[in-house]
Amino acid sequence: MRHLSIALICLAMALPASAQSTDSSTFELGGDRFMAGQSVVSTDQVESDIFAAGERVSLRASVGGNAHTAGRIVSVDAPVQGSAYAAGYSVSITGSIGGNVSVAGAELRLLGPISGNLRGSGSEVTVSGDVGGSALLAAGDLRLDAEIGGDLVAMVDTIDFTNGATVAGLVTIYAEDPGSVAVPSSVASADRVTIRHNDHPDVDAEIPQTLKDMGRRSIGAAIGGFLVGVLIVAATAAAAVAMAPNAVAAVRARALARPLACMLTGFIAMSALAGSVLVLAITVIGLLLVPVAIALLAGMIFAGYVAGSYVLGVGLWRALGRDIPAETLHKAGLAVLGAAAAGVAALIPVIGWLGWFALVFLGLGAVTAPFLARTTTLATTR
């Protein structure tokens, strides 16, 4: 699902610009809004989640769900009912956040109230909006002028507490020079404050239990989502093998024999369909078919990923010197192997993401190659 969301954001960049901005594109589906471009500005209320990426991103209207933003300069100036996720060089959050906030950048200004937990990492970090839950911060220079309802854990070079700073729970600070850090009694009583060197051997033991639980829940959700995705791929591959064993065998043989050609074919097929969305939108009359084209594109991405995962699993299995099994369930197991390997590889920055695209293009090209070949033959014989 994470890859599909990012793919839809990329697709939005090919659509006509919205009425709110002349240099950004907008796509909406099921209450979610996807925006991308040079300068992205959201000025209309969003019913559910928003996904926005650009050089400059600004949310100026309320969001009913979660806000996902990325850009060089990001500002969230409107209330968000759910959680907020932001990454950029300069990130400013002045609107109220109903859930958690996860943010990363060089300059972070967190000025609005946060109902849930705060997780942030930056060079210069300012927190002046009250935090209802716990705060986990990593910063070069941290300025705290807010009330923290839970625990505070911070790894910093320098930290400045203003008169408005208070922490209801435990305060744990890791610093290169612990002697330079002083926590005023107005922030937290001395019995609730621990200051350690940032490479202290008991770091894990001293992290407050609330933040340990928060981390376990986040890791559990990520692992659960990964396993569900792998099972979906395996179930789909098993169904395809059971219903069309010969066709699946042909796709597998085609991809393993000419992987680069299949990747090129998959790229051409996806580019053609993505381009058709733009053409349909320009003709106005074809706007009615845009949702169909988008749904077909999403289906192609999923089909390419399933086929690519199966081919990758077969390739890894054969690399171990094993023969391709004949049973349907065992073949589905190869899809599990490929999907798991692809999922782990996708965690590698940049290279993993490019590899995921290559896997989709490989599977999609192997599936669509016969159709494109017939189309080319018909075109040359007329």
Spatial distance between the Cα atoms of 381 and 373, rounded to a whole number of angstroms = 12
- The confidence score (pLDDT) of residue 12 equals 43
Q: 10-residue block means of pLDDT along the chain (382 residues)?
A: 41 40 64 81 92 87 92 92 91 96 92 95 93 92 94 91 92 87 91 81 50 48 61 75 81 86 84 71 64 76 83 84 77 76 69 77 84 55 50
- The confidence score (pLDDT) of residue 365 equals 86
- Whole-number Cα distances in Å, 41 to 33, 80, 96, 125, 278: 12, 15, 18, 24, 21
b/e code 102-132 from CB counts within 10 Å (16+ = b): bbbbeebbbbbbbbbbbbbbbeebbbbbbbb
Is-contact 299 363, C-beta < 8 A? no
Residues 6+ apart with CB under 8 A from 162: 143, 144, 145
- Among candidate residues 172, 164, 112, the one with its CA nearest the CA of residue 136: 172
- The confidence score (pLDDT) of residue 3 equals 43
- The confidence score (pLDDT) of residue 223 equals 58
Torsional class of 37: left (φ above 0), alpha (ψ -120 to 50), beta (otherwise)? left
Which residue has tokens 């016969």?
A: 370
Is-contact 181 200, C-beta < 8 A? no
- The confidence score (pLDDT) of residue 226 equals 62
| Extents of the domains making up the chain | 2-207, 214-381
b/e code 160-179 from CB counts within 10 Å (16+ = b): ebeeebbbebbbbbbbeeee
Is-contact 161 187, C-beta < 8 A? yes
Locate 273 and state its tokens. 């369909």
- The confidence score (pLDDT) of residue 167 equals 95
Locate 197 and state its tokens. 């060197």
User: For the chain, how many residues are written?
Assistant: 382
- The confidence score (pLDDT) of residue 21 equals 40
